[in-house]
Structures are given as structure tokens and as C-alpha cells.
Structure 1
Amino acid sequence: MGEKIKGLNLVLEIAALVGLIFQLALIIFVWNILPEVIPIHFDFAGDVDQTGSKTDLLLLAGLSVLFYIGLTWLGYYPEKFNYPWKINPDERERQYSLARKFIRLIKAESVWIFAVISFQVVAVAFGKINKLSPILIALIVFATSATVIGYLSLALRNDPQCRR
């Protein structure tokens, strides 16, 4: 657990932490002026299809905190991951390093997705916008898919065990 974090790993850790702080600060900053009833669910077009208590926004923040803590902890144990192939002993360190980066990227993406959704919920609640941006929905699907595909393509590259 004493791994020194540097390079891209450090950038991803900072990005995740900044996203978490942004989301928590946003909620704290607007809490007293936020309406009691806010949008809590949106359809695929981004239109509000359910409202609820502003305390539901705390659930989103709680999920961010859980993702942040859980994925941070998980990143320390790449040897426990369920890989879809047998890890070649010669490639073990490379595979574990890639897996750690993947977990950190997923963590940063997850935290920022929740932060941006919180921001847009607040904007809808205040009447600044009337629906979630359809670009946000497409971006969420694209970013998470691209991350998984990118990780798998990098992990499979140059590993003789994976080319069979």
C-alpha cells in the first residue's frame, strides 16, 4: 500500500479528489437556498420525470464518497481482480499497473459524473436550465465505454497469453 503515485496516476487521483470536493462544496454552498423539492430523476431526453426532497442530493454525494473510497481501496489490490485471461508472470507488473490506472480513471470518471449531475440538478432546481443536457448523457455512455475498451485493448496488447 506504500506505492508512490506519480505521472498519470497522480493526475487521475487529483482529478477524482477535485471532483469530489467540487460536488461536496456545491451542495454545501447551495443547501440553504435550494428549494425543498428538486428534480431527482430524468428520462433519456433529459426531461424531469420525478421530483423529491433536496436531501436526495445527499444520496448522490454519498455515492461519490463511496465510489471514491471503495475504488481507492480496490486500486491497492490488483492481484485480487478478476481478469478475463490468465496473467502471464512476465507481464504481471505491467498488467497490475494498467489495472491500477484503469481503476483510477473509473474513479475520476464516476466522481465527475456524479458532480456534473449534481450541478445540473441544482441548475434545474433553480430554473437556470430546464433539463439535463443530452450531451451529458451521451458523454457518460461514451466515456465509460471508451475507458473499458481502451483498457482491454492495452491490457491485451503484447501479452502472449492473450493472443491465443
Structure 2
Amino acid sequence: MRIIEVQNRPVLKIKKTPLETALNIATLLLFIGSILYLLMEWSSLPNRVPMHYNFFGEIDKWGSKGIIVLHPIIGAVLWISLTVLEKFPHVYNYINLTEKNIEQQYKNVRIMINVIKNEILIYISYSIWKDIKAAYGHDITFGTWDLPLFLIVLFSSISFFIVRSIRLR
């Protein structure tokens, strides 16, 4: 079993899985929906919106409503950047990449990036909704737990794909 060095890695054309396609479509629809919701609420949105939440999920910094536009911008930039990164699985770091497991490893890491980018965009979409609701004075559903829950989901996904990569050796 010959280990393939970084400079000798082939560029493979691997078809997107139905999971990747479904996640992209569902997440983009949710993101577009959150942007449309922001646009619909924009004229009635208070001039002050939440900018930061403390450890307990309480708002501890307010800003002008223009700051809320950063959510969609950051979301779009991250989603596009990670979509481009998905197309180059041959540049990632691997442990014991061989001719036998190369296609499975490339696909595994590409799906991992896809899942991560969509989880991030879902959280950003939720943040847009949450900040609008908080600006109106509504109590937020998850409060303290939204960020820890997001991080648990994110790191669980990463762990799953790392373990899967190790098993593919």
C-alpha cells in the first residue's frame, strides 16, 4: 500500500451525492427565506438591534439596525468560500492517503465541508430571525443554549467525519 504524497495527488471528478445536493437546496431556501424576512421587517424594525449576547443569552450590546445586514453578508461569503473549497479535496491534509482509498477519502472530506458550511448557514439564518425577534422585545426560544447547541452539532459533525476518515484508511 503506497501512500500518496501531496504533490502527487490526482484531481478526481467525483459526482455530488444526493445528501450534498439536498443540504445545499434546503439550506439556501432557509437562508433566502431569512433574508426575505429581514427585508419584509426592515421598515418596521427598531433603530436598535442586538449586537452581542452574553453567556446567559442576554443582550449586552445594542447597535443600529444596519448592523443586522452583516449576517447575510457573512453567511453568503462563508457559503460561497466553502463551496469553492469543496471543489479541491486534493489539497486537504490526509492521514495515509493511498490509491485504494483516495476516492472515498476525497468524498468523505468534501461531504464534511458541505455539512459544515450548511450548518453554519443554518445558524446564521437562525441568528437573523433571533435578532429581529429580540429587537422587537420578544423572548428568544433557545436563549442560553443556541450557541452551545450549534457548537455541539458542528463539532459532532466534524468528529463523525474524522472518525469516518480514520476508518477509511
Change (3 A) 1:89 1:2: closer
Please, which moves more after superposition, 149-158 or 22-31?
A: 22-31
CA distance in 2, matches of 1:70, 1:119: 23
Instruction: Give 2:7's aligned residue.
Output: none
Opposite residue 9 of structure 1, the aligned amino acid is E
Q: Percent identity?
A: 24
Question: How many residue pairs get matched?
Answer: 158
Instruction: Give 2:19's aligned residue.
Output: 8
The equivalent position to 1:129 in structure 2, one of 136, 139, 142, is 139
Instruction: Give 1:82's aligned residue.
Output: 93
Instruction: Give 1:92's aligned residue.
Output: 102
TM-score by length of 2: 0.86
Q: Unpaired runs of 5+ in structure 1?
A: 160-164
What is the SS of the residue equivalent to 1:10?
helix
Contact 1:39 / 1:51 at 8 angstroms: preserved in 2?
A: yes
Q: Unpaired runs of 5+ in structure 2?
A: 1-11
CA distance in 2, matches of 1:57, 1:2: 39
Instruction: Give 2:51's aligned residue.
Output: 40
* Structure 1 runs of 4+ with >4 Å offset: 1-4
Change (3 A) 1:131 1:48: farther
Instruction: Give 2:29's aligned residue.
Output: 18
What is the SS of the residue equivalent to 1:55?
helix
RMSD of equivalent CA atoms? 1.9
Contact 2:23 / 2:115 at 8 angstroms: preserved in 1?
A: yes
